[in-house]
Amino acid sequence: MTDWRIFNFDTVESTNDTAKEYSRTATDNFVITADKQTAGRGRRGRRWVSLDGNLFCSIGLKFELKHLGKLVLLSSLSLLQAIKNLKPDADVKLKWPNDVLLNGAKVSGMLLEKGADDFMIVGIGVNIKQSPVGAQMLYKTTSLYTAGIHTDKENFLNLLLQKLSENLDLLQKDPDFVRFKWLEYAKGLNEEIVVCQDNVKKMGIFTGIDENAALLLNTEQGLIKILVGDVFYMSDEND
């Protein structure tokens, strides 16, 4: 089991920045949390709206950069399992690469960045009490509270770290388990999706992920591997 040293701050710009800084002197796994973020960051240069009562944390752990894909899958799977621990029949799905959907809307996002030396920083935002709304949101959003899951950020973080520790142990025993487990909960598998990469849109059937967590898309031009992008589901068009 992994031990985590947890440091809580009142206000930071971004817990990922605080974690990167701390990783320069850290020797063991650690977690940075904050009650408020003034400059929370999302994937692909976007902003992460940090609303009161929600969880903002950055987990620092030693992980080989070449296995980064596995860490992405492992972290999102742990988030899903933490939610299911609170409500076993919750409708939770994983959206490539690292979002968690609850009742079809985004409840959590993740930003992985490199820390000092061999530390990786897994920055996680979970909408515990409320979720941002507005036209600028790329995908529909929800919170645990809206879905009837009443918890607080401290309790949720403990559950998340417990699941993460268990999954890190399992990964040691079977490096491929996480891919198959992730696929069990993947939204849109074997369905038509669109992947947006800046101004380029690629359409095809989402057939799986490879061992490095790249998305496999069966397009009219053949099977391609996608490393970065935002996924949209054709099935959402009917909502």
| Sequence-distant (≥ 6) Cβ neighbours of residue 115 within 8 angstroms | 19, 20, 23, 24, 60, 121
Instruction: Report if residue 41 touches ligand BTN, rule: CB under 6 A.
Output: yes
CA distance 59 to 123: 6
Residues 6 or more apart whose CB falls under 8 angstroms from that of 69 comprise 211, 212, 213, 214
**Judged by CB, which is closer to ligand BTN: 48, or 206?**
48
Q: Locate 190 and state its tokens.
A: 């074997």
Which of 4, 15, 94, 142 binds ligand BTN (CB under 6 A)? It is 15
Residue among 42 and 132 whose Cβ is closer to ligand BTN: 42
Q: What would the x/- binding string for ligand BTN be over residues 101 to 140, using CB under 6 A?
A: --------xxx-----------xxx---------------
Residue 27 to residue 13: CA distance in whole angstroms: 24
Binds ligand BTN (CB under 6 A): choice among 56, 96, 119, 206: 56
| Residue number with the smallest Cβ distance to ligand BTN | 109
**Tokens in use for 48?**
């992460």
Residue found under tokens 């939610």: 83
In whole angstroms, how close is the CB of 37 to ligand BTN at the nearest point? 6
Q: What residues line the site for ligand BTN (CB under 6 A)?
A: 14-16, 37, 40-43, 46, 48, 56-58, 99, 109-111, 123-125
